[in-house]
Amino acid sequence: IRTEFASSTVLTIAHRLNTVLDCDRILVFDQGRLAQCDEPKELINAGEGIFFELCSEGGYCMPGQ
């Protein structure tokens, strides 16, 4: 998918973080409402929020990184 649709818009619904870490933009929903929207790097660098917590718990980033 990453190579075949590199220049296309792809909506990916995922439960595994490694599936979306290299996406251009991530939308995080909480109880049916949009909670966060930004580039993965920016969401992680924020140091807080749902996406940061998921990445920290999954070992994809370290607190204070």
Cα–Cα dist 60/34, whole Å: 22
- Please give the distance of CA 26 from its chain centroid, rounded to a whole number: 5
Q: What is the pLDDT of residues 35-46, one digit of tens each?
A: 999 999 999 999
Q: What is the pLDDT of residues 19-28, one digit of tens each?
A: 999 999 999 9
Does the pLDDT of residue 30 top 90, yes or no? Answer: yes
Q: Per-domain residue ranges for the chain?
A: 1-65
SS3 50: helix
